[in-house]
Amino acid sequence: MRCPHCGEPVQAGQKTCFACGEKLRVRRLGQTTFDYRIVIAGGVLVLVGVLGVIFTLSGTRKAAGAKASRRVAAKVATSQPAPRPAEPRTESLTAAKDGDVLRAQEQLLKLKRRYEVVKGQVLGETPTQEQRTLMSQIERELGLLGSAINRLTSPLAAGERKKVEQEIARRVREVNTLISQFSRAPKNR
C-alpha cells in the first residue's frame, strides 16, 4: 500500500505517513463515504420544490385565463353582437362521416378558441385601428373557412375536392398569420 499524498510505501493499519506526515484514510470494506439518508432527504426536498413551482404556475395561468375570460365576457355583453361567421353544417357532417371534414372542423374550432384567447389577452379598453382591422380580417377569414368546410361536406368531384382542401389549408395558414399579427399589434393600454 502507498501513501496517497507522497507515494511512499506505508504499512497496513498505519494512521499517518512517516515520510510526509499526512493522515492516511483507510477505508474498510462496506464503509461508504456518504449517508444515503441525506441523499434521500435532498431528493424529497427537490421533488417538493418542483411540485410547488408547478402548482404555483398552474394556479397563476388559471387565474390569468379566468381574468381574460371575464374581460372578454364583459366586452361581449356591452358591445353590439357581431355577425357570426358561417358554421359548418353538422347534419351533413355526421351523414358524411368524412375524416377530412372532421379534421377541418376541429381546426376551425381551435382557430376560433385561439382567436378568443388572444383577443382577451391583447385588447385594452378600446382597440387600436390596427387591432380593429386585424379583427375584421380574422373574422372574415374564419367565415370563409367555415364556408369552405361546408362545401367540403357536399358531394364533389375529386379535382374539385382537392381544390377545396387546398383552399382550407391556405385559409388556416392565413388565419394563423393574422392571429399572430394581432397578438403583436400595438396596444392601447
Mean confidence (pLDDT) of the chain = 78
Written as nine digits, the cell of 8 is: 511512499
**β-pair partners for 9:** 2
Q: Please list, in sequence order, all residues whose beta carbon lies within 8 angstroms of the beta carbon of residue 84, skipping any fewer than 6 positions away.
A: none
Residue written as grid cell 387546398: 166
pLDDT digits (tens, 9 = 90+) for 135-183: 999 999 999 999 988 888 888 888 888 898 899 899 999 999 998 888 8
Work out the pLDDT band at 87, boundaries 50, 70, 90: low
Which residues on neighbouring strands pair with residue 23, listed in sequence order? 16
pLDDT attached to residue 125: 78
Amino acid identity, position 127? P
Q: How many Cβ atoms are within 10 Å of 68's Cβ, its own excluded?
A: 18
Residue bearing the bigger pLDDT, 147 or 76: 147
Cα end-to-end span (Å), the chain: 77
Tell me the per-residue pLDDT of 11-51, one tens digit each, with 9 for 90 and over.
888 888 877 778 887 555 555 566 778 888 888 999 998 88
- The one-letter code for the residue type at 114 is R
Q: What is the pLDDT of residue 8?
A: 82
Band of pLDDT at residue 92, cut at 50, 70 and 90? very low
C-alpha span between 50 and 54 (Å, rounded): 6
The per-residue pLDDT for 94 is 42
* Four-residue CA torsion sign, 62, 75, 174, 86: positive
User: Is the distance from CB of 43 to CB of 36 less than 8 angstroms?
Assistant: no
Q: Is the pTM of this model over 0.75?
A: no
Q: What is the pLDDT of residue 31?
A: 56
Most trustworthy range by pLDDT among 70-79, 87-96, 132-141, 177-186: 132-141
